[in-house]
Amino acid sequence: MEGLIVVAVFVVLVIVTLVLGVRIVPQGSKHVVQRLGKYHKTLGPGLNIIIPYIDSVAYKVTTKDIVLDIPSQEVITRDNAVIIANAVAYINIVSPEKAVYGVENYQIAIQNLVQTSLRSIIGEMDLDDALSSRDQIKAKLKSAISDDISDWGITMKTVEIQDINPSPTMQAAMEEQAAAERQRRATVTRADGEKAAAVLEADGRLEASKRDAKAKVVLAEASQMAIQKVSEAIGDNEIPVMYLIGEKYVDAIKRLSTSDNAKVVLLPAEIPTAIRGILSGAK
CA 272 remoteness from chain centre: 89
The average pLDDT across 87-106 equals 91
pTM of structure: 0.57
Helix, strand, or coil here: 87?
A: strand
Q: How far apart are CA 165 and CA 135, in angstroms?
A: 15
Domain ranges of the chain: 2-62, 66-166, 169-227, 236-283
Q: Which of 138, 145, 146 is nearest to 122 (CA)?
A: 138
Whether CATH 3.30.479.30 fits 66-166: yes
How does residue 264 score in pLDDT terms, banded at 50, 70 and 90?
Answer: low
pLDDT band at 90 (very low <50, low <70, confident <90, very high): very high
Mean pLDDT, rounded, for 199-223: 81
**What span, in angstroms and rounded, lies between the C-alpha atoms of 133 and 137?**
6
31: confidence class by pLDDT, cuts 50, 70, 90:
very high
Residue range 134-166, pLDDT digits in tens: 888 889 998 888 888 988 999 999 898 888 888
pLDDT digits over 36-77, tens only? 889 999 999 999 988 888 888 999 999 999 999 999 888 888
Total number of residues shown for the chain: 283
Q: How far separated are the first and last CA of the chain, in Å rounded?
A: 186
